[in-house]
Amino acid sequence: MSHPKVPSPFAGARVVVTGGAGFLGRPVVELLRLRGAEVHVPRRAEFDLTCERDAARMYESLRPDVVFHLAAEVGGIGANQANPGRYFYANMAMSLHLIEQARVIGLGKFVQVGTICAYPKFTPVPFRESDLWNGYPEETNAPYGIAKKAALVMLDAYHRQYGLKSSYVLPVNLYGPHDNFDLGTSHVIPAIIRKCVEAVASGARQIECWGTGSASREFLFVSDAAEGVVRAGEVMDAPEPLNLGTGREISIRDLVGLVARLCGFDGSIQWDSSKPDGQPRRCLEVEHTAARLGWRAQVPFEDGLSETIAWYRRSRTT
């Protein structure tokens, strides 16, 4: 969906993007610069944003008009199972300190990227923003999801009490070039791509996948997500949760078959049913966001997968 070519409210603004060197952060930074913003990316080595003192120092040093908070400590099901305490603390602390310091300095706007993991485990499909509080999240990623959802509550409270302008988006599972392909911490698409590409390269005739393959997921190409995040920052002044997705789901079993075909892997797939499937289904209702932002996902799924596979193959040889 196109929107009028009017000057962005970020033109000439000093914008800080936490996590700006990350997977989603890269295209967000690029889009903001194309819109005329002066973008600054705080480095973790210089600012530990889980520490209140460092969060305050970041504001003093970079003097932002707008903050896009994308930094997160996150991983797939295995990483969430191994680090529940750390994932809750790190994500809660970053949002807590950054939002409070935004109030202290009178920041123009705070844009928070939430997570689909915040939805209840058995949310009716498609997920509607009005269902966000109707149950407890899926257990393996609940600490991460609740920490991110708490930031929504804080932004709403700060908007009502202090007038802090903010936006809040809930992206579905992202994929694309520059994703994390570490099998210990990656999400499902990069993990499957890596397994299939390596099997083709080595001549292996079998790969193993977690769970039963029965769960479904929805996936959004990272450049589409970046446009949605920036649009939310431009359009929204209050932290109304907005889904960012395609509105289409695919079972993990079908996803593995599709990735295998696109990678040229024709061996067997072994499912380890002793490993968890995670949330049974994920698919978003996206019409509300389309109406609010004038935004829809543009990249067809197979095209995005093919681009991601090609990028990963290039990255293995450089």
Catalytic sites, residue numbers: 144
CB 119, CB 145: distance < 8 Å: yes
Q: Which residue type, as a one-letter code, is found at position 236?
A: M
